[in-house]
Structure 1
Amino acid sequence: MVKQTIQIFARVKPPVRKHQQGIYSIDEDEKLIPSLEIILPHDLIDGFVNNKRESYKFKFQRIFDQDANQETIFENIAKPVAESVLAGYNGTIFAYGQTGSGKTFTITGGAERYSDRGIIPRTLSYIFEQLQKDSSKIYTTHISYLEIYNECGYDLLDPRHEASSLEDLP
């Protein structure tokens, strides 16, 4: 049996605006565990002092900066999961983040260019390519594609696009 801990990755989204507030730094020297530090400068607008914390530091198995493309994300995150699935183990990729942080782009991809395909289309292509190579076996595949938003579940493969309680999803 394959024993592996849950892997946690971070992907830094490129800024929408040129002068977006907040900066980050990636430190990969700290005991081979990469850390991401987010720095939110204090605002002194209208003479008010902001005493909130200015620096936040998080550790991840790997951090992908703003230059990471969809192929890099697939090769490093999704492909190992797909290979485990092909070996007979269950696999899950869970994208978490606030609205607008880039989860949909990472998971589904962009529609403008073929190279912008996300984790799902790349993983499906990879799995079916591998299954086609071995015609001596019969395979059954099951795929779930769910969104959880405001404590409601959405089966994204259901054309009705109706909200359900999480317990009622198939």
Structure 2
Amino acid sequence: MDAVGKRVHAFVRVKPTADFAQDVIKFGPDNKSIDIYIKKDAKKGVVNNKQTDWSFRLDGVLHNTSQELAYETVAKKLVSEALIGYNGTIMCYGQTGAGKTYTMTGATAEYKHRGIIPRAIQQVFKATAHSVDPFVTVRISYLEIYNETLFDLLATMTSNGTGDAQMAVVDCPQGVYVKGLSIHSVSHEEDALNLLFEGETNRVIAEHTLNKNSSRSHCIFTIYIEARRD
């Protein structure tokens, strides 16, 4: 990978609204920058040095973008690189109601509205089906972090009792991992999707003004891919 491929890439996905604030938010002509303008508050007097303008340079701005294009832009290349041995992470960040869960997992009502995770699962299994490596193992884990406590969202799928184990973040010579987190082998795309949906039903949710079932936690869905030749 070249230097550009190794660095962190940042994208902004703008949630569609009925009345977009065009006078406040401006996109650059190349869709790689955002300028934000906030009017000065007259109530704070003539002398007001509070910053009102911001400009951000990004790798891409996704405005009125489909789930398919969002995946093609943000995730497809990273998943391809994971299939040849590179570690990859996609992190979705934003305020409550911004659409993080929709972007990552999507909506179950329509197939075309599925999010990054189910699309990544599909890409992985399509690739492994045509892999030249005779032994490819795919495993799944789903971790929730809520109020600084770790929860295994797939603990209900564990039959050997490890689901009740105390979890902790451990740093060892092989890397950082979560001790006690269950990891599940999957042989087909459907098996992996079932684990994703099982984990989603176990997440902490609460209602707010924009969403009756808003997620209230940080979650890490991990796909482990191991290829070997015996």
1:8 matched to which residue of 2? 10
Structure 2 distance, partners of 1:129, 1:72, is 19
SS of residue paired to 1:142: strand
1:63 matched to which residue of 2? 61
1:49 matched to which residue of 2? 44
**1:26, CA displacement in angstroms?**
1.3
Q: Contact 1:22–1:41 at 8 Å: present in 2 too? A: no
Aligned partner of 1:102: which letter? G
Residues 63 and 148 of structure 1: is their aligned pair in 2 closer, same or farther, counting only changes over 3 Å?
farther
Residues 101-160 of structure 1, C-alpha deviations (whole Å, 9 max, x = no match)? 111110000122111100000010111011112365111223344444554444444449
2:26 matched to which residue of 1? 25
1:101 matched to which residue of 2? 98
Structure 2 distance, partners of 1:58, 1:165, is 38
Q: Contact 1:151–1:166 at 8 Å: present in 2 too? A: no
Q: Give the share of equivalent positions with the same residue, in percent.
A: 36
Q: Contact 1:151–1:165 at 8 Å: present in 2 too? A: no
Residues 19 and 64 of structure 1: is their aligned pair in 2 closer, same or farther, counting only changes over 3 Å?
closer
1:141 matched to which residue of 2? 138
Aligned partner of 1:63: which letter? V
Report the number of matched residues: 161
Is the counterpart of residue 87 in structure 1 residue 89 in structure 2? no
Structure 2 distance, partners of 1:153, 1:113, is 31
- TM-score, normalized by length of structure 2? 0.58
Residues 56 and 81 of structure 1: is their aligned pair in 2 closer, same or farther, counting only changes over 3 Å?
same
Structure 2 residue aligned with 1:121, among 115, 118, 123?
Answer: 118
Structure 2 distance, partners of 1:21, 1:154, is 41
Residues 42 and 114 of structure 1: is their aligned pair in 2 closer, same or farther, counting only changes over 3 Å?
farther
Unaligned runs of 5+ in 1: none
Residues 146 and 100 of structure 1: is their aligned pair in 2 closer, same or farther, counting only changes over 3 Å?
farther
**1:11, CA displacement in angstroms?**
0.7
- TM-score, normalized by length of structure 1? 0.76
2:196 matched to which residue of 1? none
Residues 2 and 96 of structure 1: is their aligned pair in 2 closer, same or farther, counting only changes over 3 Å?
same
Structure 1 distance, partners of 2:25, 2:60, is 15
Computing the radius of gyration from Cα coordinates, the structure with the larger value is 2
**1:6, CA displacement in angstroms?**
1.1
